Amino acid sequence: MNRTALLYAGIIFTVIISSIGLVFIPEYQLFRLEPVEAADGNLYPQPRTEFEEAGRRVYIAMGCVYCHSQQVRPEHFGADIDRGWGTRRSVARDYLYDQPHQLGTMRTGPDLVNIGSRQSDDNWHYQHLYDPELTSPGSTMPKFPFLFEKRTLEPGREPPFNAIRMPPGVLAENEYLLPTTDAQQLVAYLKSMRHDYAVPEAQP
């Protein structure tokens, strides 16, 4: 074998070996993971409904991952649990249904993997998405006005039941706000996010 062939072989060999080590072996180790039965008789993690899955696509389309991670680090490594971002560390099993993954590498905003157990109020989420400073003064999260429809109220009529309740002064007297389907799906997804069930690898 001459030197050129050796060079090519070495280059190809090093990258193939690393893909085996960092991708194929972990896949072999983890692909058999299954949901576990909890004390309440349900299997966890639970698959998302189609509506929630559509919300996950909105989450991806809006690029939430660039500021929000979806992983709780172990106790005594960072302060994730002390901050109330989870009651236990996240484990591989929690992500069985995530395609594509949204683990994230940035926390310009807080971790969201347990946002469903922290905040279950639809109206809070809608206000927060419409204008984050309504619920979180000082937040630098962008507003998402395009996830809402502003409607004008005809004189003498009440806003419909699904209108978002707003603090006074945000909208004009004769206006009300409706979430678009995207917003409803996104909030359904956010509310579904929770790693608060017991798994053999980590207890809450």
Site for another protein in 63-122 (CB under 8 A): 63-67, 69, 71, 73-74, 77-79, 82-83, 89-92, 94-110
How far apart (Å, rounded) are the C-alpha atoms in residues 77 and 129?
A: 30
Q: Is 36 in the site for another protein (CB under 8 A)?
A: no
Which lies closer to another protein via its Cβ, residue 139 or residue 159? 139
Q: Is 185 in the site for another protein (CB under 8 A)?
A: no
Q: Is 178 in the site for another protein (CB under 8 A)?
A: no
How far apart (Å, rounded) are the C-alpha atoms in residues 164 and 161?
A: 8
Which lies closer to another protein via its Cβ, residue 159 or residue 201? 201
Task: Indicate the pairing of strand 148-152 with strand 36-37.
Answer: unpaired
Q: Least CB distance from residue 38 to another protein, whole Å?
A: 18
Sequence length of the chain is: 204
- Binding another protein (rule: CB under 8 A), the pick from 34, 40, 138, 155 is 138
CA distances to 9, 14, 23, 55, 116 from 18, in Å = 14, 6, 8, 35, 37
Q: Is 20 in the site for another protein (CB under 8 A)?
A: no
Which lies closer to another protein via its Cβ, residue 25 or residue 172? 25
> Which amino acid is residue 100, in one-letter code?
P
127 CB-near residues (< 8 Å, 6+ apart): 134, 135, 164, 165, 166, 167
Q: Least CB distance from residue 110 to another protein, whole Å?
A: 5
CA end-to-end distance (rounded Å), the chain: 58
Q: For another protein, which stretch binds (CB under 8 A), given 24-32, 35-43, 117-125, 161-169? A: 24-32
Q: Is 162 in the site for another protein (CB under 8 A)?
A: no
